[in-house]
Amino acid sequence: LKIAGRLAAKAPIALKLAKQCIGMAFDLDQNNGIEFEAAAWASTFATGDQREGMQAFVEKRRPTFKGK
């Protein structure tokens, strides 16, 4: 339950993409896996959660992620 609680506090979109990357690791060769991961990572920069995470870091507070 400790791990579940820690994961639940993370940005939902980034967590979903991380899980997809882990799952794809078994199906893709290294080059395609890296491309998939890079695209997933880049897509997180268009989210409100990314902006909230950066703002929380600057303000030295815990972020409040909304999955947007």
Q: Per-residue pLDDT tens for 20-46? A: 999 888 899 999 999 999 999 999 888
* Domain-embedded: residue 65: no
Strand positions, DSSP E, 1-68: none
* Domain-embedded: residue 52: yes
* Domain-embedded: residue 54: yes
* Domain-embedded: residue 28: yes
Distance CA 30, CA 56 (A): 34
Confirm whether pTM is higher than 0.85. Answer: no
Per-residue pLDDT at 6: 84
Q: Which residues contact 44 (CB under 8 A, 6 or more apart)?
A: 11, 13, 14, 17, 50
* Domain-embedded: residue 64: no
Structural domain total, the chain = 1
Structural domain for 42, as ranges: 2-58
* Domain-embedded: residue 63: no
* Domain-embedded: residue 67: no
Distance CA 45, CA 17 (A): 12
The tokens of 17 are what? Answer: 């993409």
Residue 51 is part of a domain; what is its CATH number? 1.10.12.10
Which of residues 62 and 4 earns the better pLDDT score?
Answer: 62
Per-residue pLDDT at 10: 83
- Residue holding tokens 């820690």? 6
Per-residue pLDDT at 8: 79
